[in-house]
């Protein structure tokens, strides 16, 4: 930990590294990890719980009056109605983890009166540490990060997440991905939204979009992106996104080019934009089955 960092960020780094150590130990024998299912294709492991407990213990030991919002335990820990609330995802990318696919991370953010002020994302497989304090820039392993300089969407690499829960509108997402894919150099789906946002901040990708996200998926990553010079909002381009279950992040120029493409798929789209999507869906639908052919006259 560095003496130059904000004290609260130092504590968050300590918590993230403690969680990362738990995750790395478990990854040595991932087949023995106990797994349960929250819903179809949505998994939680004993590692998620152990990681979350280590983070909460570290944070509340330092700041017992702070609140906690965590993926697995919700708001059961910490002080209720606190102005300072830690938003925690102890293992973003659980499905990747249980398959041994090394793309997952720990995400910790501090919201002060609803505004994200501190952020840590830690990738234990690569020992990459992404940090940000509002107004002080974003860093990867103590190196200042800036979003990419690309300005032409056709040259950009974009990351996203695919729908996987019951009730997700899969066909709608396919149309949205199709709209983006044909205008870019490539589309990627790594499987950990927090890390996706960190990669936008680092300039590894040029933008990220996804629906169905929770605050712990995007809180830390959003500050990394804005402190690295990028923009974050919902699909209509509005800066509200934390509780809105849709997130778009990118370099300013690419963000501006993606909004017109994605806004019709937003929960907050106008009636006319939603009608556009419905019309496209109807046009893509298979033709109705032809009426059964009438019997031919006997020869």
Q: Which domains, from first to last, does the chain contain?
A: 7-143 (3.30.540.10), 153-283 (3.40.190.80)
**Is residue 239 scored above 80 in pLDDT?**
yes
Mean pLDDT of the residues in the chain: 88
Question: How far apart, in whole angstroms, are the C-alpha atoms of residue 72 and residue 232?
Answer: 25
Residue 217 annotated in ligand binding: yes
* pLDDT above 90 (res 179): yes
Higher-confidence position of 35 and 219: 219
CA distance between the termini of the chain: 92
Task: Quote the pLDDT of residue 289.
Answer: 38
State the average pLDDT over residues 174-196: 95
Would the annotation count 92 as a binding residue? Answer: yes
Interatomic CA distance for residues 183 and 197, integer angstroms: 21
Helix, strand, or coil (residue 278): helix
Percent of the chain with pLDDT over 70: 84
Which pLDDT value is given to residue 296? Answer: 36
Pick 129 or 36 by higher pLDDT.
129
The 10s digit of each residue's pLDDT in 152-166 is: 999 999 999 987 666
What confidence score (pLDDT) does residue 125 get? 97
152 labelled binding-site residue: no
Looking at the predicted structure, is the pLDDT value of residue 110 above 70?
Answer: yes
pLDDT at 204: 98
Q: In what order do the strands lie in the sheet with 84-92?
A: 67-70, 84-92, 105-112, 115-123, 128-133, 138-140, 143-144
Is 89 a known ligand-binding residue?
yes
Q: What is the dihedral of CA 246, 77, 63, 120, to 10 degrees?
A: -30
pLDDT, tens only, 269-290: 765 655 666 666 556 655 543 3
48 is in an annotated binding site: no
Instruction: Provide the residue count of the chain.
Output: 299
**Whole-number pLDDT of residue 270:** 67
């Amino acid at each position: 930990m560095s003496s130059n960092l904000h004290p609260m960020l130092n504590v968050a780094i300590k918590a993230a590294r403690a969680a990362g150590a738990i995750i790395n130990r478990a990854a040595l024998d991932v087949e023995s990890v106990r797994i349960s299912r929250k819903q179809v294709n949505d998994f939680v492991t004993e590692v998620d719980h152990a990681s979350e407990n280590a983070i909460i213990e570290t944070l509340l030991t330092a700041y017992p009056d702070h609140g906690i919002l965590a993926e697995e335990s919700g708001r059961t820990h910490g002080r209720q109605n606190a102005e300072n609330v830690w938003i925690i995802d102890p293992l973003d990318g659980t499905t990747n983890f249980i398959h041994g696919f090394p793309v997952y991370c720990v995400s910790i953010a501090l919201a002060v009166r609803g505004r994200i002020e501190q952020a840590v994302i830690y990738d234990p497989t690569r020992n990459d540490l992404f940090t940000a304090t509002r107004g002080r820039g974003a860093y990867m392993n103590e190196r200042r990060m800036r979003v990419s300089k690309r300005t032409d969407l056709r040259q950009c690499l974009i990351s996203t997440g695919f729908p996987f829960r019951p009730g997700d509108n899969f066909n709608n997402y396919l149309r949205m991905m199709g709209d983006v894919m044909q205008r870019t150099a490539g589309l990627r789906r790594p499987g950990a939204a927090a890390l996706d946002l960190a990669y936008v901040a680092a300039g590894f990708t040029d933008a990220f979009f996804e629906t169905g996200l929770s605050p712990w998926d995007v809180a830390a990553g959003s500050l990394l992106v804005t402190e690295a010079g990028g923009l974050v909002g919902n699909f209509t381009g509005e800066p509200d996104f934390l509780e809105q279950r849709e997130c778009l992040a990118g370099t300013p120029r690419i963000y501006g080019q993606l909004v017109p493409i994605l806004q019709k798929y937003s929960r907050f789209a106008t009636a006319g934009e939603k009608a556009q999507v419905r019309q496209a869906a109807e046009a893509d639908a298979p033709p109705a089955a032809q009426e059964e052919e009438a019997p031919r006259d006997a020869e």
